[in-house]
Amino acid sequence: MKRANPKIVGVLRCSCGAVMEVRERSNGKKLLYTYCPNCKLDQRSGDQIQEQWRNTMLPPGTELPPVETAPPESAPKTLPNKTESAAIEGEWIPPEDLAPGAEPKQEETKFNGKMVAGGLGVLALFSALAFGLTRIIRGGA
Ligand SMILES: [Zn+2]
């Protein structure tokens, strides 16, 4: 028996991206099947896939729109060059260049002095409390 040329009834975009032919079987129930150059034959006969092919296929010869690839959108140019350089400039000034020695050091000393004084004060207070407590406990006993 001579094999008839497949009857192409439509074209579809295969899930692999290639254009596949939708063909109709010449015998039986005239089921559709598809042929993709990559995926080869798909002869599923389920109602759902048959319906889908029938509804989505385009007439043979239709040029299918190219697969939508993510368009290489020109990357949004981040333009923080100005702020960046400004920040760098701000950071760049070495502390020694501000005022030779003096000011920051004084600040530091003052701060430390306060800390020491505060610490001493707390210590003294604590000692007094402890002393008082000891006295109370001793006195009560
Ligand atoms: Zn395919």
- What pLDDT score was predicted for residue 66? 72
H or E segment to which residue 107 belongs: helix 102-140
Ion ligand 1: residues, Cβ under 5 Å:
14, 16, 18, 36, 38-39
Distance 33 CA to ligand 1 centre (A): 13
Please state whether 66 falls in left (phi above 0), alpha (psi between -120 and 50) or beta: beta
- What pLDDT score was predicted for residue 79? 61
Distance 64 CA to ligand 1 centre (A): 14
Distance 18 CA to ligand 1 centre (A): 5
Could you report the per-residue pLDDT of 21-33, keeping only the tens digit for each?
Answer: 999 998 888 999 9
Q: Could you tell me the pLDDT band of residue 6, with boundaries at 50, 70 and 90?
A: confident
